[in-house]
């Protein structure tokens, strides 16, 4: 049966180390006499030597406490950043109330309620009041509408967007619901329709290519006949003899 863990105050550890220094006994002898483990006593001796400056191959007690405190602060900051990241998504477009995170009502959150309330900026009383309340009528209605929206979207093979889903709800199921509410439910559940892509030209002008030379130097008023021949337009009108030229 393993020995239960015991707690020893710093004063007791210092006295054990002094006993080893003054009596000349080995660490093993003192450990057996005081019913201690030899590993613990050796660690106490090392700790006293580090604090006294007789050794430099480890951290002192003060440095260990500072390192433990800094690690705790880093852990808390990472947790608060994770809380803010989740809260930014949950509170998008709605005021901050007693609702902390959706998982908290189900008891699935890994964060402490006190830290959640402090980071988000709500009271613990408000959180517990919200957690003990049943879902509101709007929440229940949203759940029902979301199920209908998913059914209509699946029946359309994922092609219907918010306008057509809204029309199906109004005309097909006779549900009086706003179009923006349908769009919000589709956005929250990751649903979107298929829309025609905007046409984009594929011709790209080469900036390195030289343009065609201007042989007439933009002068379209010749001094006499048969001096300048150009088409009247890109699509010249056909005549019996061919195209009309000037």
195-204 contacts: CB < 8 A, separation 24 or more? 195/161
Q: How far is CA 190 from CA 7, 138, 183, in A?
A: 55, 20, 10
Q: How sure is the predictor about 159, in pLDDT bands with cuts at 50, 70 and 90? A: very high
- Considering only CA atoms, which of 17, 6, 19, 25 is closest in space to residue 50? 17
State the pLDDT at residue 36: 87
* Per-residue pLDDT at 246 exceeds 50: no
pTM of the model: 0.42
- Binning the chain into helix, strand and coil, the percentages to the nearest 5 are 50, 0, 45
Q: How sure is the predictor about 245, in pLDDT bands with cuts at 50, 70 and 90? A: very low
Question: For the CA atoms of 158, 163, 167, 169, what is the dihedral angle to 10 degrees?
Answer: 60
- Distance, CA of 45 to CA of 193 (rounded, Å): 72
* Per-residue pLDDT at 23 exceeds 80: yes
* Per-residue pLDDT at 145 exceeds 90: yes
State the pLDDT at residue 132: 82
- Distance, CA of 13 to CA of 42 (rounded, Å): 11
State the pLDDT at residue 12: 87
pLDDT tens digits, 66-113: 999 999 999 888 888 888 887 776 666 554 444 444 444 545 567 788
Structure tokens at 58: 């480890």
Please report, rounded to a whole number, the percentage of residues in the chain having pLDDT higher than 70. 83
Question: For the CA atoms of 29, 33, 37, 41, what is the dihedral angle to 10 degrees?
Answer: -60
């Amino acid at each position: 049966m393993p020995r239960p863990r015991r707690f020893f105050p710093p004063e007791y550890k210092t006295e054990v180390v002094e006993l080893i220094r003054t009596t000349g006994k080995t660490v093993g002898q003192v450990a057996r006499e005081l019913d201690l483990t030899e590993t613990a006593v050796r660690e106490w001796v090392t700790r006293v030597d580090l604090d006294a400056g007789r050794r430099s191959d480890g951290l002192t007690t003060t440095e260990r406490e500072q390192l433990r405190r800094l690690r705790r602060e880093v852990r808390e900051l990472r947790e608060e950043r994770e809380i803010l990241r989740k809260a930014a998504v949950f509170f998008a477009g709605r005021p901050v109330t007693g609702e902390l995170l959706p998982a908290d009502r189900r008891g699935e959150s890994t964060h402490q309620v006190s830290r959640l309330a402090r980071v988000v900026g709500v009271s613990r009383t408000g959180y517990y009041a919200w957690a003990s309340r049943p879902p509101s009528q709007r929440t229940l209605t949203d759940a029902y509408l979301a199920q209908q929206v998913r059914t209509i979207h699946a029946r359309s093979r994922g092609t219907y967007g918010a306008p057509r889903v809204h029309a199906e709800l109004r005309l097909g199921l006779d549900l009086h619901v706003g179009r923006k509410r349908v769009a919000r439910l589709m956005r929250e559940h990751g649903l979107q329709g298929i829309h025609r892509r905007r046409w984009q030209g594929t011709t790209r002008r080469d900036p390195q290519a030289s343009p065609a030379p201007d042989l007439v130097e933009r002068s379209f008023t010749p001094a006499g006949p048969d001096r300048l021949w150009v088409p009247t337009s890109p699509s010249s009108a056909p005549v019996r003899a061919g195209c009309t030229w000037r």
